[in-house]
Structure 1
Amino acid sequence: MAETARQIADDLRSRITSGELDAGDRLPGEPALVTKYGVAKETARRALTLLVTEGLAVRKRGSGTYVRDFRPIRRVANRRLAQDGWGAGRSIWGADLGDRQLSVVDLKVSETAPPSQVARSLDLGEAESVIVRSRRFVVEGEPVQMATSYLPAELVRESAIAQPDTGPGGTYARLADLGLAPVRFTEELRARMPSPAESDLLALSEGTPVVEICRTAFTKEGRPIEVNQMLLDAGVYVLEYHLDS
């Protein structure tokens, strides 16, 4: 009986996780899978696409499909947002990456009118503007996330938040300097397929979804002080949350 695409992907995945197929190794091509499993070429293609979508494999045009040579990023929201990190001048990315190399590219800072949803989240009046910080994050040469932060311009335009380099501890440390330290956060997550432009910016393989996260930061008085809209390559992230009962 012919194997399904999911069963073939399960077989290949077990060979990857066991170490039989190592990072950078070429996976069996469609003709080899057709012969081995007795399936149609389209079924073989779907099996390989499943592994690409999971972030375990990458396609190289004209060459084949290879085991991805990249360690997943474990994003522990509780740990990365802890005040003892950014409050001590450390990047919140340090909680995710340790000593792995991080680059910030395409950084743009501007003042503009907020999108309507952001204005509602920040409780802004009709004539109020926001400082916008947009950037793309690259880890070990791979783009992994895009992010755009919105903060009330009236409160932060005279601070380093309105400059490209916010200094040690980043935006949250500068908010603390202004007496606006964030002490509570909410995050809304949604998985979806990316637009063509998003796929290009994150260098996504065909069929790879993204995780959209919208985080709102609040001061101890309950004032919303930042909205951060993030787009993550779902294939390279593990999202971990620690919840007390």
Structure 2
Amino acid sequence: MPRETPYLQVADALRARIQAGEWAVGDKLPSRAKFADEYGVGQSVAQRAMERLIIEGLLEGRAGSGTYVRRPRERLRMVRSRHRERRGGSPFRADMKERGKAGSWESRSEARVPAPEHIAERLAIAPGDPCVMTTYEFLADGQPVQLSESWEPMAITDGTPVVLPEMGPHAGVGVVERMRSIGVLIETAVEIPRPARATQEQANLLGISVGDLITQIERTYYDRDGRAVETADITVADVRWEIAYEFGIDQRGD
């Protein structure tokens, strides 16, 4: 297994076995030691894989008892993680594949759009500087999942094959891969989730009612020099999706 994400591959294998019915709701899973031996990984890797499936809502841990298959959630869980950018291809499509769904999207890009003041502040550019603005409607099995409005400074991408996100040789692979192709290495993503109520336009696109609860995520990508290279506003219908954040814990101490 690749050294970078072995626990995700173990999680993928266990998820497939659960979805195939190898263990029913309420069944206790074998120990992490057994899974570690079965997949040829360390126990810490097996533990992280099981914790990932707990985060996703497929498993539940019971103190002093073990790990069990839990009843499926009525709301699906969308896991935001730094590892979602390391799987190659589209992070959204990979996210939906883990849910057993086919991910797709529709988009529309416009070049040389003057940056509004709030976008300019997030990108650390001057208001009015030219950007590429792209709107997205993301779908799972043809049903709306989330909306996004993305802004990229043209000072970074102008004259390159990736100036329009969904055109050219790197269309559809996500911001991180596209930027890497032109030598811009994204190192950090900052996300700020906020609750809100759906506007008429958002309700129409997401297939919900006006005023329904939504989660809005303000996301900005930064390169290795701390330069903002893309910012986006992501909208998710709360009635269908709950959002969980996964992050590693440094075990080395102070």
| TM above 0.5 | yes
**What whole-Å deviation, never above 9, does each CA across 1:14-67 have from its counterpart, x for those lacking one?**
xxxxx9xxxxxxxxxxxxxxxxxxxxxxxxxxxxxxxxxxxxxxxxxxxxxxxx
Distance 1:179 1:229 in 2: 25
Measure how far apart 1:221 and its partner are: 0.8
In structure 2, C-alpha distance between the alignment counterparts of 1:144 and 1:126, rounded to whole Å: 31
Instruction: Name 1:92's counterpart in structure 2.
Output: 91
AA in 2 matched with 1:180: V
Q: How far apart, in 1, do the equivalents of 2:221 and 2:132 lie?
A: 15
The alignment's C-alpha RMSD in Å is 2.3
Q: Aligned partner of 2:142: which letter? A: G
Task: List gaps (5 residues or longer) in structure 2.
Answer: 1-24, 26-72
**Alignment of structure 1 residues 150-169 onto 2, 5 Å:** 150-158=151-159, 159-162=161-164, 164-165=166-167, 166-167=170-171, 169=173
Contact kept in structure 1, 2:93 and 2:102, CA below 8 Å? no
Corresponding residue for residue 193 of structure 1: 197
Counterpart position of 1:119? 120
2:78 alignment counterpart: 75
C-alpha distance 180-101 of structure 1, shift in aligned 2 (>3 A)? same
Q: Using CA pairs below 8 Å that are at least 6 residues apart, which structure has the higher relative contact order?
A: 1
Paired residue secondary structure (1:148): strand
* Shift, 1:183, TM fit: 1.0
The aligned residue for residue 221 of structure 2 is 217
Following TM superposition, the consecutive aligned residue runs of length 4 or more in structure 1 with deviations greater than 4 angstroms are none
Secondary structure of the residue aligned to 1:143 is strand
Q: Percent identity?
A: 19
**In structure 2, what is the Cα distance between the partners aligned to 1:180 and 1:137?**
25
Offset of residue 114 of structure 1: 1.2
Q: Using the TM superposition, give the Cα deviation of residue 140 of structure 1 relative to its aligned residue in structure 2, in angstroms.
A: 1.7
Q: Which structure has the greater CA radius of gyration?
A: 1
Equivalent residues of 1:161, 1:171 under 8 A apart: no
Name the count of aligned residue pairs. 172
Distance 2:232 2:171 in 1: 18
- Return 196-205 or 163-172, whichever deviates more: 163-172
Q: TM-score, normalised by structure 2?
A: 0.61
Q: Deviations over 1:163-199 (max 9, x none)?
A: 5334362322110112212110111111111111211
Residues 63-86 of structure 1, C-alpha deviations (whole Å, 9 max, x = no match): xxxxxxx9744322115543x22x
Equivalent-residue separation in structure 2 for 1:204 and 1:121 (angstroms) = 29
